[in-house]
C-alpha cells in the first residue's frame, strides 16, 4: 500500500511538472509575440443584420410549434411580400437615378439602427475597437439613423474613459441620435461614457452612478526603515511626485494629492452636468450607486429597458445591424487568451463552490 501511494504521488508530481512546463512555454510564447507584434494590427469589420437573426430564431421555433401546413402558407405569403417590396425598392431607385444622376433612392429607405458593444476594463481597452466601429458607422449613417451602444463597465482610469467618452461624442457631433443601454453596470468611468447619450436606458437592476474619484496606494517606508533600507528618489519640480510607495510621504505632498483628486472630481461633475443638465449633480456626485427605478428618480437614466427589448422593438420599423471590429491576433496571443479563460473558469468554479449556500444544489 505504501508503495502504491509513493508511485501515485510520483505520478502526480510528474503530471504537475508537465502542466507547469506547458504554462511556462505558453507564457514565454505570448511574451515573445507581444514584443514582436507590429505597431499596426490587421483587423476587419463584421456586420450582422439582427432582423434576420431574430427571424431565424422565430422560424426555428415555428418549425416545431406551428402546424406544418400553416407554417408553409405563412412562409409563402412572407416571401411574396418580400419580393413585392424588393421590386418596389428597385423601381424607386431606378426612377430616382433617371431624375437626378447620382441619386440612389436612399432617401426613401428604412431607418438604420447600428448596434455597438463596449465591455470596459480598468484601462478601457475596448476603445481601440470602438473608435474603428464608430468611424465605420459615421461613414454611412445619416441623421435619420441611430446608434445603440450596449455598455458594460465599472470604470477605471480617468484619461482612458475620457477618450472613450470622446469617441461617443463623435456620434453626437454628426447629429446622429445616440442611445446607450446598460444591462448590468455603468459606474464611474462607465457612467462618464453613458451620460453622453441623448437617450440613456438601463435594466431594472443595472448598477448606475458612482460619480466619484478614488486613488489608493500602499506605503512601505516604515518597513524599509525598520530593516535599515534607504530609498532615494530624485525629481525636478516641487510636485513631480506627491505620494510614493517607498518614500516618506509628507503632509504637504498629501495635501497636493488630495487637491488633484478633488480637481478631477470637479471635472467629472462638470462633464456629467454638461450632458445631463436635468439631474442634481451635487446630490448624485457622492460616489454612491443606484439601481433601476432609483436611478430614474435621480434622473441618472431616462427609461428602464433591456437592450434586447429595445432591439426587438426597433426591428419592427428599422434595419438593425450589429457592428464589430475584429482584430487579428497572433497564435501566441490566442493561446494566452485560452489559458487566461481556462484559469478564470476554474477559479470562478471553485469560488462558486466555496460560497454557495448549502441549501442549494
Give 216-225 pLDDT, tens digit per residue. 888 888 888 8
Q: Per-residue confidence at 16, pLDDT binned at 50, 70, 90?
A: confident
Lowest mean pLDDT among 17-21, 50-54, 153-157, 329-333: 329-333
What pLDDT is attached to residue 34? 59
Domain for residue 108, yes or no? no
What are the helix (H) ranges across the chain? 2-36, 50-65, 68-99, 127-138, 158-173, 189-194, 221-226, 251-275, 281-284, 292-297, 307-314, 331-355
What pLDDT is attached to residue 223? 84
Domain for residue 335, yes or no? yes
Q: Per-residue confidence at 39, pLDDT binned at 50, 70, 90?
A: very low
* Residues 165-173, mean pLDDT to the nearest whole number: 98
Please name every residue paired with 321 in a beta bridge, in sequence order, or none if there are none. 49, 114
Taking only Cα atoms into account, the Rg of the chain, rounded to an integer number of angstroms, comes to 28
What pLDDT is attached to residue 314? 97
Domain for residue 96, yes or no? no
Domain for residue 27, yes or no? yes
Residue for cell digits 455597438? 116
Lowest mean pLDDT among 118-122, 254-258, 349-353: 349-353
Domain for residue 14, yes or no? yes
pTM, whole model, 2 decimals? 0.75
What's CA 104's distance to the chain center, in Å? 36
Q: Please say if the pLDDT value at position 246 is more than 70.
A: yes
What pLDDT is attached to residue 240? 81
pLDDT in tens, 128-160: 999 999 999 999 999 999 999 999 999 999 999
Residues 6+ apart with CB under 8 A from 289: 187, 207, 208, 209, 210
Look up residue 112 and give its DSSP letter. E
What pLDDT is attached to residue 235? 80
Domain for residue 3, yes or no? yes
Question: What SS3 class is residue 260?
Answer: helix
Residue for cell digits 510528474? 14
What pLDDT is attached to residue 114? 98
Lowest mean pLDDT among 79-93, 216-230, 285-299, 301-315: 79-93
Q: Report d(CA 142, CA 235) in Å as an integer.
A: 52
Q: What is the mean pLDDT of the chain?
A: 84
Catalytic site includes residue 341: no
Catalytic annotation, pick one of 38, 226, 240, 328: 240
* Residues 313-337, mean pLDDT to the nearest whole number: 82
- Which cell numbers in the block locate residue 65? 410549434
Helix 158-173 to helix 251-275 angle (10° resolution) is 20
What pLDDT is attached to residue 116? 98
**Class of residue 329 by CB neighbours under 10 A (exposed 0-12, middle 13-18, buried 19+):** middle
Residues 6+ apart with CB under 8 A from 185: 152, 153, 154, 206, 207, 208
What pLDDT is attached to residue 29? 66
Domain for residue 299, yes or no? no
Q: Is the dihedral of CA 103, 108, 109, 115 positive or negative?
A: positive
Q: Report d(CA 351, CA 347) in Å as an integer.
A: 6
* Residues 243-271, mean pLDDT to the nearest whole number: 90
Q: Per-residue confidence at 333, pLDDT binned at 50, 70, 90?
A: low
Q: Report d(CA 79, CA 74) in Å as an integer.
A: 9
Q: For the chain, what is the domain count?
A: 1
Judge whether 291 and 207 are in contact, CB under 8 Å. yes
> Where in the sequence is the domain holding 17, given as residue range(s)?
1-42+329-345
Residue for cell digits 477618450? 163
Domain for residue 5, yes or no? yes
Catalytic site includes residue 125: no
Considering only residues 286 and 345, tell me which one the structure prediction assigns the higher pLDDT: 286
Q: Please say if the pLDDT value at position 355 is more than 50.
A: no
Considering only residues 352 and 43, tell me which one the structure prediction assigns the higher pLDDT: 43
What pLDDT is attached to residue 360? 45
Lowest mean pLDDT among 51-65, 152-166, 181-195, 302-316: 51-65
Catalytic annotation, pick one of 129, 188, 210, 307: 188
* Residues 273-291, mean pLDDT to the nearest whole number: 95
What pLDDT is attached to residue 115? 98
**184 CB neighbour count, 10 Å cutoff:** 17
* Residues 235-248, mean pLDDT to the nearest whole number: 82
Amino acid at each position: 500500500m505504501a508503495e502504491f501511494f509513493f508511485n501515485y504521488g510520483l505520478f502526480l508530481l510528474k503530471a504537475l511538472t508537465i502542466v507547469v512546463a506547458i504554462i511556462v512555454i505558453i507564457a514565454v510564447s505570448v511574451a515573445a509575440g507581444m514584443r514582436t507584434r507590429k505597431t499596426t494590427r490587421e483587423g476587419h469589420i463584421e456586420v450582422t443584420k439582427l432582423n434576420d437573426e431574430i427571424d431565424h430564431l422565430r422560424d426555428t421555433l415555428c418549425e416545431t410549434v406551428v402546424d406544418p401546413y400553416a407554417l408553409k402558407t405563412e412562409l409563402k405569403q412572407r416571401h411574396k411580400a418580400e419580393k413585392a417590396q424588393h421590386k418596389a425598392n428597385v423601381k424607386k431607385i431606378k426612377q430616382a437615378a433617371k431624375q437626378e444622376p447620382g441619386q440612389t433612392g436612399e432617401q426613401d429607405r428604412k431607418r438604420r439602427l447600428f448596434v455597438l458593444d463596449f465591455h470596459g476594463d480598468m484601462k478601457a481597452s475596448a476603445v481601440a475597437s470602438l473608435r474603428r466601429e464608430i468611424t465605420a458607422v459615421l461613414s454611412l449613417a445619416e441623421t435619420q439613423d441611430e446608434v445603440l451602444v450596449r455598455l458594460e463597465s465599472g470604470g477605471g482610469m480617468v484619461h482612458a474613459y475620457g477618450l472613450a467618452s470622446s469617441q461617443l461624442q463623435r456620434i453626437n457631433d454628426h447629429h446622429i441620435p445616440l442611445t446607450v443601454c446598460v444591462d448590468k453596470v455603468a459606474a464611474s468611468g462607465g457612467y462618464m461614457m453613458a451620460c453622453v447619450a441623448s437617450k440613456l436606458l438601463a435594466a431594472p437592476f443595472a448598477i448606475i452612478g458612482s460619480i466619484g474619484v478614488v486613488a489608493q496606494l500602499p506605503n512601505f517606508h516604515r518597513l524599509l526603515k525598520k530593516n535599515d533600507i534607504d530609498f532615494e528618489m530624485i525629481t525636478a519640480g516641487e510636485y513631480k511626485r506627491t505620494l510614493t510607495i517607498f518614500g516618506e510621504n509628507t503632509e504637504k505632498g498629501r495635501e497636493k494629492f488630495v487637491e488633484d483628486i478633488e480637481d478631477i472630481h470637479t471635472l467629472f461633475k462638470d462633464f456629467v452636468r454638461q450632458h445631463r443638465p436635468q439631474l442634481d449633480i451635487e446630490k448624485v456626485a457622492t460616489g454612491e450607486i443606484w439601481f433601476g427605478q432609483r436611478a430614474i428618480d435621480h434622473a441618472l437614466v431616462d427609461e428602464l429597458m433591456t437592450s434586447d427589448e429595445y432591439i426587438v422593438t426597433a426591428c419592427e420599423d428599422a434595419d438593425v445591424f450589429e457592428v464589430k471590429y475584429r482584430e487579428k491576433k497572433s497564435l501566441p496571443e490566442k493561446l494566452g487568451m485560452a489559458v487566461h479563460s481556462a484559469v478564470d473558469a476554474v477559479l470562478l468554479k471553485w469560488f462558486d463552490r466555496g460560497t454557495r449556500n448549502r441549501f442549494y444544489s
